[in-house]
Every structure is written in structure tokens, then in C-alpha cells.
Structure 1
């Protein structure tokens, strides 16, 4: 029975992820989700209670594990490479790019993340801030220890820029496409190295004038 319940819940999450990626959160109805997952509305209510909770759980399913990996990698980077910026950035970038490589819905989830940036959904943003804001704060503290001359405001501007560039790279919307004969894994590794070098240069740049 437990296996059946897990399978049903997983099907609902998978269907919701695909539909949110295609149509957005507001543009997807629970009826569409139940039809795609081949379940009835009672199953959605039983497992999630509401559409808002379903949206949250789509994120939690992947971001819980990604956040754990990021924080583990961060602790390792600080222990093994104290004072070095690039290993900290690698701990942030590489686990996220690994999701994009996941053949079991990773691409759809990346588009869902892009939707979260693009759509005004205060409830979702509150959930993400409460659940995962501590991860960004830990990376902010780690980066600050390498670059103590940066103000907190300047640091968080640059961390925001990194998060945006990472989301764009994960979505693979850009000019650089995977060359013929190059595996997806190798392509992602190159993307990670390029983004880490780029971000490191940005973080190390001299502080500019404060925004008006």
C-alpha cells in the first residue's frame, strides 16, 4: 500500500512539474494535473491539500536534496581550501547544474524555476525564502570571508547576479550549444567551469558606486 501511495504522489508531482513548466502556475489547473497523472482530485487533496501546497512540494522534491549537497560541498570547500573563492562558487554552481542533467524531469524543473523568477507569486517566493534562504545566507557569509572589502549590499547584488546567470545556464537558452560528439556531462562540466571563472572575476571586481 505504501508503494502505491508513493507512486501516486510521485506521478502527481511529475505531472504538475511538467505542466507548470509549460503553462506556469496560474495557467495550470488541478484538473489538468489529475488528467496528466491519471488520478482523481481526491488523490491531490489527500497528498497535498491545495494547489499552493502542490506548487511548494514540486520545489521541495528537488531543492531539499540540492540544498543539502550545496551545504555539504560548501563545508568541504571551506575545510579543504580556506580563503579560496572558486571552490565556494563550485559548491553553489555544480549541484544546480547536475539537476539540469537529470533525465527524470530535470529539464522541466529548470523551466519551473524560470517561471518562479518570471511570475509574481508572493506565496511561492515566501515559501522559497523561508525554506532555502538560509542556503544563500551561508554562501554569502562564506564569500564575504574571502572578500571582506565588499559591503553586504554589494555582496548580495553579486550573489543575485550569480543566481540569475546560473538559472539561465541551467535552462540552456544561450548561444553556447552542446557541440556534436560532446556528451551532456562534459558540456555541463565546461559550463560550470566557465560560469565559476566568470563569477569569480565579478565577485573580485572593485566595488562600484552604490546604487541610487
Structure 2
């Protein structure tokens, strides 16, 4: 029996960790569970990741690097080709994330992992996400501010926070609107994206509340 290539072993570990983190959370998952699910020994985990904290980070990096690239590419295109329009900017933020949820190769597990990141208090993970992906929100905030100049920075970030929460909820497909029988998954996700983009555009553009 041939030995799997290193990247195959690494990918198996990441896939197993993603499934277990989705099911049990970060603190509730042990490296022993990961090695058992991935059918590797602990030395393989130490070789590829060094620690459980790094393994958690790499589970996110595997999905979010690609999503970030797609988001920022779509944002540049929106700003260049449809200047002054808000919905294309929001589409650049929303659609790549919903595409992950539709991915049949672990997308649903990653959505649950993402929800865990919101729900669990994990300062190291939050710092990692902020350090590596915080620039994405800043780039989108800058683009939105150019289109909706009347918002204060604080108000804009509040509304981006609300959009991020609503997007995570939409990714989980946990809401009242279920995919109709016979409807394709891609069609259902496209409808979810359109509705969320319109909802977010209306919310972002509404006048600020009186501070008093």
C-alpha cells in the first residue's frame, strides 16, 4: 500500500477537523478525535500544523483565502464597471459567501464552523480572523462610504456587522424560507442572495437614527 502524498494527508486532516469542529465546537474537539477521523497519527498533525490552534486557523484559511480573493475581485469589478451603485458592492460581499454554503465538498460543515466562531469565545481565533481578513471589511466599508457618504464610520460598521450576521444566517439555510421541492440549490441560493442584497441596501441607505 503506497503512502499518501503529504498534501493528501493534510487535506484529510483539515476535512476531519472541519467536520468535528462543526459538530462539537473548537474546545469540544480533541486532536485524538481528529486523528481518528482522518486516519492519521498525531505526528502527522504536529508535522503539518504544530498545534491545535494552528489547525483551527488553517481550517478557516482553507476556505476564506479563496472567498476573500473572489470578494475583492468582484468588488474591484463593481467599483470600476458600476460606479456609484450600492447593490453590486453588496453582491460582491454576499455571493462568494453563499457559494461556499453551496459547495458540496464540506461547505455545510464550514458554515457551522463559521457560526461557532461567532458564538464561542475564542480570542486567539478572533485575532487570527481580524489580522488576516479584517482588511476585507475595511475595503468594503470604503467602497460603501463612497456611495453612501452621509453615514458616519460608526454607523456604517454597525450596518456591516448586521449584514455579516444576516449573511451567516442565510448561509446556514436555517430560516423560515426553505428550498422549494424540485427547485435547484443554485436557484434557491441565487434568490437568497438577491433578497439579502436588496434588504441590506435598504438598511445601509436608511437615515441614521437621532443620537438622542
TM-score over 0.5 (shorter chain): yes
CA RMSD across the alignment: 1.2
Which residues in structure 2 correspond to 1:114-153 (within 5 Å)? 114-153=115-154
Moved over 2 A (4+): none
Instruction: Write the distance in 1 (CA, Å) between the matches of 2:188 and 2:5.
Output: 37
Which residues in structure 2 correspond to 1:16-165 (within 5 Å)? 16-165=17-166
Task: Confirm whether residue 15 of structure 1 aligns to residue 6 of structure 2.
Answer: no
1:75-130: per-residue Cα shift (whole Å, max 9, x none)? 00000100100000000000000000000000000000000000000000000000
Deviating more after overlay: 201-210 vs 156-165:
201-210
Q: TM-score, normalised by structure 1?
A: 0.98
Change (3 A) 1:65 1:3: farther
Deviation at 1:3, TM superposition (A): 6.4
Gaps of 5+ in 1: none
Q: TM-score, normalised by structure 2?
A: 0.98
Instruction: Write the distance in 1 (CA, Å) between the matches of 2:210 and 2:52.
Output: 44
1:28-51: per-residue Cα shift (whole Å, max 9, x none)? 000000000000000000000000
Deviation at 1:6, TM superposition (A): 0.5
Q: Which residue in the other structure is 2:188 paired with? A: 187
Change (3 A) 1:150 1:46: same
Instruction: Write the distance in 2 (CA, Å) between the matches of 1:167 and 1:209.
Output: 29
Q: Which residue in the other structure is 2:207 paired with? A: 206
Q: Which residue in the other structure is 1:167 paired with? A: 168
Instruction: Write the distance in 2 (CA, Å) between the matches of 1:2 and 1:22.
Output: 29
Gaps of 5+ in 2: none
Change (3 A) 1:62 1:2: farther
Instruction: Write the distance in 1 (CA, Å) between the matches of 2:48 and 2:210.
Output: 50
